[in-house]
A = this chain, B = another copy of it.
Amino acid sequence: MAGSLVSEKALRQFCETVLRKLGVPAGDARTTTDVLVVADLRGIDSHGVARLGRYVAGLKDGTMRAKDESRVVKDTSATALVDGGHSLGQVVGKKGMDLAIEKARKTAVGIVTVRNSNHYGIAGYYSLMALEHNLIGMSMTNSGPLVVPTFGRSSVLGTNPISLAAPALKEKAFVLDMATSTVPRGKIEVHNRLGQPIPPGWAVDETGRNSTDPKRVLDALASRLGGGLLPLGGEGEELGGHKGYGLALMVDVLSGVLSGAATGLQVYADEKRPNVGHFFLALDPAAFRPLDEFRRDMDRIARELKDSPKAEGQTRIYVHGEKSFARMEKYRKEGIPLDPKTVENLKKIGKDLDVPAPL
């Protein structure tokens, strides 16, 4: 997609100024901006500054509190429960993962769940935080209903992502950051704009069966007629759709049920008070074996995979996170590409709040 290039610095400055104008304290504006810009830097542009409008709207209508009202409500040496107080999901998410990391540094493991939060951006942001401390990080969140359970016809679960990051030595860290649906809704929207059919395995229409018509899927979702994204593995059980469905449910159990947040259909049921739940884990490899040995063996398995024979027509095998680290390096040097629609959105936000847009 052709787009404009913007420098990381200018983009950060813009987002921070916008958030501060809406009453977000400086440190929290920096955190929220960081989560958004890191998503763009890593190439997950669906979760980057393209979503700034969503947070602006949330802050304006009060579904997202500008001041951090989160607090720890339950605490043990290795666990904690945080009530997000309907503050910004990024601010609450970072606080939750910071707490998990602090616990892991003391007792080898930290598990923190969060309730009454908002959309927290990319799951990978929080697992990545663990790497700076040579810890393994894990992050999950539930989200609004978009995914249809196996044999169902309407969406009950979110795209409920799972992220795990583990440090390596010379190789890049392993950073898995995946929605448990086959694809995000954004991919269906792109095919719809281009008038292209979607492959079976991505989504079902209002009949609950595979659809190749992106418009029909989106219309069904919009009018709440049913339909939705398929879990990883596609329709039915033949290609393992029940496994993707099970992973999505696992994420809701750990993020939603365990924290006492809403789950499934209820996450955004109260439009004024969404109740998103998160799950964070930090784990110290040194509690099991010397850190250097762990990191060396992370290199070994990465090399083994990358050096293994390639499929016909392929030249490279990737380890998860590798493409994103490469993009990050490139975009930091050359600028971050933004599509025309995102540029337009940012300009509109800037105009409304009297903040000069970066483009």
Binding site for B on A (CB under 8 A): 74, 76-79, 81, 107-109, 111, 113, 136, 148-154, 156-157, 162, 164, 166, 174, 176, 178, 180, 182-183, 199, 201-202, 204, 207-209, 226, 232-235, 238-240, 242-244, 246-247, 249-250, 252-254, 256-260, 263-265, 283-285, 287-289, 293-294, 297-298, 300-301, 304-305, 308-314, 316-320
- Name the B residues within 8 Å of A260 (CB-CB): 288-289, 293-294, 297
A208 near B78 with CB under 8 A, answer: no
Structural contact, A164 and B253, CB atoms closer than 8 A: yes
Cβ of A154 and Cβ of B309 under 8 Å apart?
A: yes
Complex formed: what's the CA distance from A79 to B281 in Å?
A: 14
A153 cross-chain contacts in B, Cβ below 8 A: 308-312
Report which of B149, B164, B288, B301 forms a contact with A263, defined as CB distance below 8 A.
B301
Interface pair A258/B305, CB less than 8 Å apart: no
In the bound complex, how far is the Cα of B81 from the Cα of A320, in angstroms? 26
Closest to A176 in B: B246
Counting every copy of the chain, the complex holds 2
- What's the nearest-Cβ distance from chain B to residue A203, in Å? 12
Question: Given the complex of chains A and B, what is the CA–CA distance between A257 and B303 in angstroms?
Answer: 14
For the complex, what is the distance from the CA of A77 to the CA of B78, rounded to whole Å? Answer: 9
Compute how far the CA of A247 lies from the CA of B320 in the bound complex, rounded to whole angstroms: 10
Shortest beta-carbon contacts, A-B, top 5: A208-B311, A151-B314, A176-B246, A79-B287, A78-B109
User: Could you tell me if B289 and A81 are in contact, using CB atoms closer than 8 angstroms?
Assistant: yes
